[in-house]
Amino acid sequence: MKLLPGDRPEEPLSSRVAWILFCGVSLQLAFLQPYVVVVPGERTNIFSGILCCIALIAALSSPARHTARWSRPEIVISVSLAVLAALSGILSDTPWLSSYRSFVLIASALGGFWCSRILLRSTERQKSFLWLCMAIFVVMVGLGLLGYVLDRQVNHLLDANPHPMANRLLILSFAPLAYLLEGGAAARIMALASVGLCYIVFFLSQLRSAVIIPVVACLIAFPMRLIRLKYLLAIVAIFIVIAPFFISRLPVTHLGKEYEPAYYRAESYPFSWHVATKHPFFGIGMRSPRDKYLEDYQIKYPYVTKEKFADSTDRVVTSENTFLTFISDVGMPFFLLYTVSLIILLTRLVRAVKEQPSDLYLPAAALLLPLVAALVHFQTFDGLMYPQLAWYFHALLGLVPVPAVRSQES
């Protein structure tokens, strides 16, 4: 980790306020405290969405925006995604409900991305953000272990179910990874211990994805020469020993082909496409009921009946896959624009792993691996619908370097 050029110790008051808001919102989203119900009976975390929006406005209004590097396509894409999401909500069968979701998604995603782009330009700020996220990671791991002791649920003190907590830990693991890659001896020991305890939390969560994804990340890291062969073999060996014991602890119903997550996620691929063909441009609106789209739909998965799938669809509402949800709920243009943008940013980040550009203090690999891990998890979990996940995921994307030839000063 190295110093960035152009660091300035003195900042205008408005820039410092924007930075404080950014940190405050990050803390609120990490622990969901305080939690305020804005619309009684509404499940959407509108309060966190409002906080993200305020932080975004503060960052865009601060003088720090003049030193931020950005590209014109990023501005155009951000505005386009916001417009498409807004139209999706307004035109849906449940305009208020879907608009709440669209607002929270856009506020948290663009808030995390642009706050990161604008406020994390200096070495000092990136160091502070790294320290903050490391502290959050350690506390979350501790709360996960405490929750298991109190209620046999690692998410007991943090979330309604373990998926959002596990995904948050996957994304925040960039902090211990940064220290492992380029920190001092003491920092590496602390980071390694926290990662080990985090994996115990994953194991106790009984989420197969949470246990497997970190190993997948290590397999991805090896060809990039980010992990030595002896360490990779040790990790794989430990996993081979742990995996049978982990599977043996799962309830029998969790392993069958007729278990709801199995049949629902498998059937959601053809069903989401079926829904998307009915509303290809703006989708049906986030969390809009899907019952009527089952009338002319033929079940493809052989281990579930139409009645059973209809019952699950009524309760789950989304596709339990972030990108399938985008296709059916927000429309094909939104899905394509977001996916292409994501591919471009990750391609830049892969390039940065080899080059480590001067405007990035954090190791690029420490950003890439958690982002890839989160994306893998998003295939079985509609993670970006949660503001706490969209914020951190896009904050890491906001750190992706912008090519100098394409950058534009505000």
- Predicted confidence (pLDDT) per residue in 69-83, tens digit: 778 889 999 999 999
Q: What is the pLDDT of residues 277-300, one digit of tens each?
A: 999 999 999 989 998 999 999 999
Q: Phi/psi at 183 (nearest 5 deg)?
A: -90, 175
**How far apart are the C-alpha atoms of 296 and 248, rounded to whole Å?**
40
**How far apart are the C-alpha atoms of 114 and 20, rounded to whole Å?**
15
CB 92 within 8 A of CB 284: yes
**How far apart are the C-alpha atoms of 366 and 371, rounded to whole Å?**
9
Residue 258: the pLDDT is 76
State the DSSP code for 70: B
Number of domains in the chain: 1
State the DSSP code for 294: G
Q: Which residues of 159-169 are buried (b: 16+ CB within 10 A; e: fewer)?
A: beebbbbbbbb
The answer to whether residue 277 is domain-embedded is: no
Q: Phi/psi at 361 (nearest 5 deg)?
A: -75, -40
The answer to whether residue 309 is domain-embedded is: no
Q: What residues make up the domain containing 86? A: 13-254+320-403
Residue 10: the pLDDT is 67
The answer to whether residue 264 is domain-embedded is: no
Residue 76: the pLDDT is 95
Q: Which residues of 260-277 are buried (b: 16+ CB within 10 A; e: fewer)?
A: bebbbbbbbeebbebbbe
Residue 6: the pLDDT is 46
Q: What is the mean pLDDT of the chain?
A: 89
The answer to whether residue 298 is domain-embedded is: no
The answer to whether residue 283 is domain-embedded is: no
The answer to whether residue 279 is domain-embedded is: no
Q: Phi/psi at 6 (nearest 5 deg)?
A: 80, 15
**Measured in Å, how far apart are the chain's first and last C-alpha atoms?**
27
Residues in the chain predicted with pLDDT less than 50, given as ranges, are 3, 5-6, 405-410
The answer to whether residue 240 is domain-embedded is: yes
Residue 358: the pLDDT is 66
The answer to whether residue 278 is domain-embedded is: no
Q: How many CB atoms lie within 10 A of CB 36?
A: 10
Residue 181: the pLDDT is 86
Give the containing element (helix H, strand E) for 52.
helix 46-61
**How far apart are the C-alpha atoms of 220 and 408, rounded to whole Å?**
33
Q: Which two tokens mark 169?
A: 């830990």
